[in-house]
Amino acid sequence: MSAMLTDTSFDTLSGLLKATSGLVIGREKTYLLETRLTGIVKREKLNDLNHLADRLRMPNNSRVARDVVEAMTTNESFFFRDDRPFQHFRTQALPKLLATRPAGMPIRIWSAAASSGQEAYSLAMTVTDLKAACGDRKIEILGTDIARDQLARAREGLYTQFEVQRGLPVQHLMRWFRKEDGKWRLHDHIRAQVQFREFNLLADPSVLGRFDIVFCRNVLIYFDHPTKARVLDAIAGVMRPDGLLYLGGAETVLGITTRFAPVAAERGVYSIATQPASVPGSRVPQPA
Ligand SMILES: C[S@@+](CC[C@H](N)C(=O)[O-])C[C@H]1O[C@@H](n2cnc3c(N)ncnc32)[C@H](O)[C@@H]1O
């Protein structure tokens, strides 16, 4: 990139990201804009980020704006990330739901920032492992993300050696994947258990239906306090009263919303609070 990013250009880019995806970028993260947006600057035959910002201030910029948002998302994910949430889901959450939900009532699970699919597929593998306990119960797993390129990857279910080495036990690799041109292809019956759909967490999730389990991991860290509160409250609004929410290791509901309460002795697992009180700065989201 040649010219220094002006304050006006920075405000245009950071304003777009905050308004459309919730992502907060401080001035000290200018280097991130530079590294991640170079491809778009080149593709659009622009000189530098200032020209990209100029372009975003012009009409008919929605395609470029979308690409900018997508390029700025951090999509890192891996199978069975942090392990503990998946153990809790396997040994506590799912068995309890199977025991308490009326027969014939589907159990619905939402991977709310699904990225390239590893989280949703880890849940599908766990459900398949517990097939005997699940019987013919319908278990729906929905993976959503704002980034369309990641959703395409998720649907494909094709992962590199590096990606499957991160967190996936070798017996799972052998059982659920097959080698294909140096990569690893997830078996169709695991892929078929997960639906992927584009969804922006700033929008109203009631269009997705109600959920028993929500994994919303490693995305709230990119949002500011009011956005975290807005997203968490909206998630609470689509969860069944005995549902569970799983957050990432660096995320919490504490001090952000009282719609959730921590599950005792389980870091990162939250139940719906029985009597929510209001937290300053938290507000009920308006439909998008
Ligand atoms: C770091 S990944 C987390 C993936 C997975 N949940 C995990 O923990 O491994 C964060 C994901 O959040 C998505 N994301 C960021 N902002 C979003 C928004 N406003 N709505 C939906 N997804 C968003 C990004 O596209 C990215 O794929």
pLDDT, tens digit, 9 for 90 and up, residues 186-223: 999 999 999 999 999 999 999 999 999 999 999 999 99
Q: Which two tokens stand for residue 104?
A: 């014939």
CA distances from 91 to 84, 87, 127 (A): 10, 6, 11
Give residue 132 CA to ligand 1 midpoint distance, Å: 32
Residue 146 CB–ligand 1 contact under 6 Å: yes
Pocket test for ligand 1, best of 23, 70, 115 (most atoms within 8 A of CB): 115
Decide: helix, strand or coil at residue 44: coil
* CA–CA distance, 281 with 278 (Å, rounded to integer): 9
Q: For atom 3 of ligand 1, which residue has the closest CA? A: 218
pLDDT, tens digit, 9 for 90 and up, residues 104-132: 899 999 999 999 999 999 999 999 999 88
Q: For atom 19 of ligand 1, which residue has the closest CA? A: 21
Query: What radius of gyration do the chain's Cα atoms show?
Result: 20
- Assess whether pLDDT exceeds 50 at residue 184: yes
- Assess whether pLDDT exceeds 70 at residue 278: no
CA distances from 234 to 111, 112, 231, 276, 281 (A): 15, 12, 5, 13, 14
Give the atom of ligand 1 at the shortest distance from the alpha carbon of 223. Answer: 16
Coarse DSSP helix, strand, coil percentages of the chain, rounded to the nearest 5 percent:
45, 15, 40
pLDDT, tens digit, 9 for 90 and up, residues 54-75: 999 999 899 999 999 999 999 9
Q: What angle do CA 194, 76, 161 make, to 5 degrees?
A: 80
Q: What is the pLDDT of residue 279?
A: 54
Give the atom of ligand 1 at the shortest distance from the alpha carbon of 147. Answer: 25
